[in-house]
Amino acid sequence: MNSEAIEVLEKEMALKQKLLYKQQPVGSKRKAPVVLLHDIAALKKSIKALRKQHIKAQKKRNALKEKWA
């Protein structure tokens, strides 16, 4: 479950990064769209939290397997 959610978030982040790259002005002093930067940062946080949760769940499952094996 978590691994699928992580993959979806990573794909979404990649798409937003591509969009950000396309909207980046070339040879200009304008800044990148702040909304996209915030979206990407939020997605990175979500992915990190999900990975942490996924690793904890894996450790718990492995401990239970060893306990009952």
Boundaries of domain holding 10: 2-23+31-68
Q: How far apart are CA 51 and CA 44, in angstroms?
A: 11
| pTM for this predicted structure | 0.64
DSSP at 32: P
* pLDDT on residue 26: 62
Q: How many domains does the chain have?
A: 1
22, two tokens: 């396309």
Token pair for 38:
């915030």
**What confidence tens digit (pLDDT) does each residue in 3-49 have?**
788 888 888 888 888 887 777 666 665 666 777 788 888 888 988 99
